[in-house]
Structure 1
Amino acid sequence: MAQLILFAADIVAVSLLVFGLYFPRHRRRDLVVAYLGVNVGVLAVASALSVSTVGAGLGLGMALFGVLSIIRLRSTELDQHEVAYYFSALALGLLGALDTQPLWRNAVLMALILIVIYAGDHPRLFRGYRNQIVVLDSAFTDQIALVAHLEQLLGGRVHSTTVQRVDLVEDTTVVSVRYLPGVHGATASAPAQLAGHR
């Protein structure tokens, strides 16, 4: 009976995760089935292993290996928040399969996962900050000049840059930049900001 309650709690929790949090915020339909499949698959495997002679540690290791393989070998790129949803779906499945006492502990941990994802992925949290790959039609080898040019181009304060490629022949620069739009950074203070730049 306790196991069925945990199964039901897992189904409710993963439904809230996928249909209440992820899809309304990100609208990526292909990952809905991925999160549901990971959750139910881990729930089924962990539940079967919990009553077999095979150790639960082996089952957990296999589940983690499988999810990491899916994330690592995907042809399309995953954002970090989507990886967080993957691990949340996996964790909910494991909690739903572990028949621990007292029973409410697993339910509280499931709720904690949902609360953390709700808060951490909330659209209002750091909503002004942007992360963008920018291709510039000039080759920048000077960090201060690069930051000044990006701040003028993007119309905001640059917080960090990661130069991915400088092509002196084609005269281009590819840079990953994190910035706050609408807040104009003082170019004169750029040297002080460079401690956070790579």
Structure 2
Amino acid sequence: MNELDLSTLLQDFAINAVAIVILAFFIYYLRHRRRDATVGYIATNVSLFVVSAALSSSTTLNVGVGFGLFAVLSIVRLRSDEATQSEIGYTMVSLVIGLMTGLPGLGTDIKIVFSALLVVTMFVVDHPALIKPQQYQRLRIELDRIITDETELQTYVEAHIAGSVKRLTVLEIDFVRETMRLDVRANH
């Protein structure tokens, strides 16, 4: 059993805290203004930091532990149907920062470089000057009829949302209830 060194733990947590605060507050929140997601990123990050630090002190770490952690974390993707790909990206970066800074084996300088690399990457790839913010909105629609012709379906949806459909995906057709569920990306 490895004992946690308090000074190393605090140093690692400081690296983690600086990285997640910059990522969640100064990049994500200032651009997207979603308090709930910001709190979620920080809570997930700190939780994973604590778990990875605790695991490193109580057991011999091997590749299996890493795969096990990422298998559990893959549930985030499965449960993130309402999240945008951008939000999933922020979630994954906050998870990786927490995991990487909480595990032993990497030197402080490497943890700082990796944390900075992840934060700078998100700053750049989510910068509005690089990629313009989405001009559309995601809608989940349930119709009380079944329309199988794609053109007719798009025209019907556009008439009811008073906007133009950019992408339309049929999620489910229920022939018994005569309903359909749609995932629509549209301009309003």
TM-score bracket, shorter-length normalisation: 0.5 to 0.7
Shift of residue 51 of structure 1? Answer: 5.4
Equivalent residue, structure 1, for 2:116: 111
Alignment of 1:1-198 (within 5 A): 4-24=10-30, 25-29=32-36, 32=39, 34-50=40-56, 54-69=60-75, 78-80=82-84, 81-97=86-102, 98-101=104-107, 103-121=108-126, 125-136=132-143, 138-166=145-173, 172-181=179-188
> TM-score, structure 1 length as denominator?
0.65
Gaps of 5+ in 2: 1-6
Work out the percentage of aligned pairs sharing the same amino acid: 27
8 Å CA contact 2:25–2:38 kept in 1: the answer is no
Deviations 1:145-174 (A, max 9, x none): 112333444455433221234456766543
Shift of residue 23 of structure 1? Answer: 4.1
> TM-score, structure 2 length as denominator?
0.68
| SS at 2:148 equivalent | coil
Shift of residue 118 of structure 1? Answer: 3.4
- Paired AA for residue 27 in structure 1: R
Deviations 1:13-51 (A, max 9, x none): 11222333444424343761x433332232233334445
- Higher alpha-carbon deviation: 122-131 or 87-96: 122-131
Query: Larger Rg: 1 or 2?
Result: 1
d(CA) in 2 for partners of 1:144 and 1:104? 57
Shift of residue 142 of structure 1? Answer: 0.8
